[in-house]
């Protein structure tokens, strides 16, 4: 018997809905996630390797399981920055590449007023080829959705030195 603290395993149409979101929004093929299970509790969805022997753990009381992957925010799905750092390389759309100066401005001000060739909504923010995390683009401004603690002031000195 599963402890009631466990989230619900997403299967069938529920799972397909989340994978369809990732495909439509970011161009991430559902095949990427075939070896993972998705679990939901409330507005949060976690990702877990499908081969984890969960039956042995099912009686344990838990607070979370796996990687926090997505959250429902109002009527939208918002990917976590950690999830995008792991899987963002598979995205083919709604990716914004910033210069070090633009990223520093976004980090410092939590927004970057600028137009980008992406559709409004959640986007993947990267510096060159490195995924930084999640942003929210509203047509003429990019808003940071990643933790202010992701960088330290010294980060920018290191980037300038190259």
Gap between the Cα atoms of 15 and 20, Å rounded: 9
pLDDT per residue of the chain (162 residues) written in tens, 0 to 9: 565 667 888 999 999 999 999 999 999 999 999 999 999 988 999 999 887 766 666 666 666 678 999 999 988 999 999 999 999 999 999 999 999 999 999 998 999 999 999 999 999 999 988 999 999 999 999 999 988 777 666 565 566 655
Gap between the Cα atoms of 132 and 73, Å rounded: 20
């Amino acid at each position: 018997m599963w402890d009631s603290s466990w989230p619900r395993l997403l299967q069938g149409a529920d799972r397909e809905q989340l994978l369809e979101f990732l495909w439509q929004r970011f161009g991430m093929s559902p095949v990427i996630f075939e070896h993972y299970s998705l679990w939901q509790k409330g507005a949060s969805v976690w990702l877990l390797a499908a081969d984890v022997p969960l039956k042995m753990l099912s009686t344990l009381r838990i607070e979370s399981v796996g990687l926090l992957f997505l959250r429902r925010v109002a009527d939208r799905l918002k990917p976590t920055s950690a999830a995008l750092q792991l899987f963002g390389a598979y995205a083919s759309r709604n990716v914004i590449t910033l210069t070090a100066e633009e990223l520093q401005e976004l980090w410092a001000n939590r927004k970057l007023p600028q137009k980008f060739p992406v559709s409004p909504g959640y986007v993947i923010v990267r510096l060159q080829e490195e995924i930084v995390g999640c942003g929210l683009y509203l047509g003429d401004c990019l808003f940071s959705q990643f933790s202010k603690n992701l960088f330290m002031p010294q980060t920018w000195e290191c980037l300038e030195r190259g």
